[in-house]
Amino acid sequence: MKHHAALVLFLLAASATYGPRLSKSSVNGDDALMKEVIQNGLVKMPGWKYTLKDSDISDIIAYVRTLPEPPPPTAKPGGAAE
């Protein structure tokens, strides 16, 4: 598998399992800030600066910026919205 494909799969697995849904508007569309989040982590998120190279992080940011914004949450039938 190409390295880039592996990165994208890893990102999908990580974001689908743990964090918020990422999209082109994540972190207000601020690429520099997203890089910082990926390197140093956040409250519950681990940092990746010892795991991912600078170029890997740029690839991930470029990929995240291709993702459309998620639709607004819908109310569940018969119940309150989440």
Contacts of 3 by beta carbon, 8 Å cutoff, 6+ apart: none
76 scored as a contact of ligand HEM (CB under 6 A): no
- Secondary-structure percent of the chain, ordered helix, strand, coil, rounded to 5: 50, 0, 50
Structure token digits, residue 73: 């949450």
46 scored as a contact of ligand HEM (CB under 6 A): yes
Give dist(CA 42, CA 62) in Å, integer: 20
Considering only residues 1, 5, 20, 66, which one is a binding residue for ligand HEM as defined by CB under 6 A?
Answer: 20
What distance lies between CA 76 and its chain's CA centroid? 26
29 scored as a contact of ligand HEM (CB under 6 A): no
Closest separation between CB of residue 42 and ligand HEM, Å?
Answer: 3
44 scored as a contact of ligand HEM (CB under 6 A): yes
Q: Interface with ligand HEM by CB under 6 A: which residues?
A: 11, 14, 18-20, 22, 26-27, 34, 37-38, 42-46, 48, 60
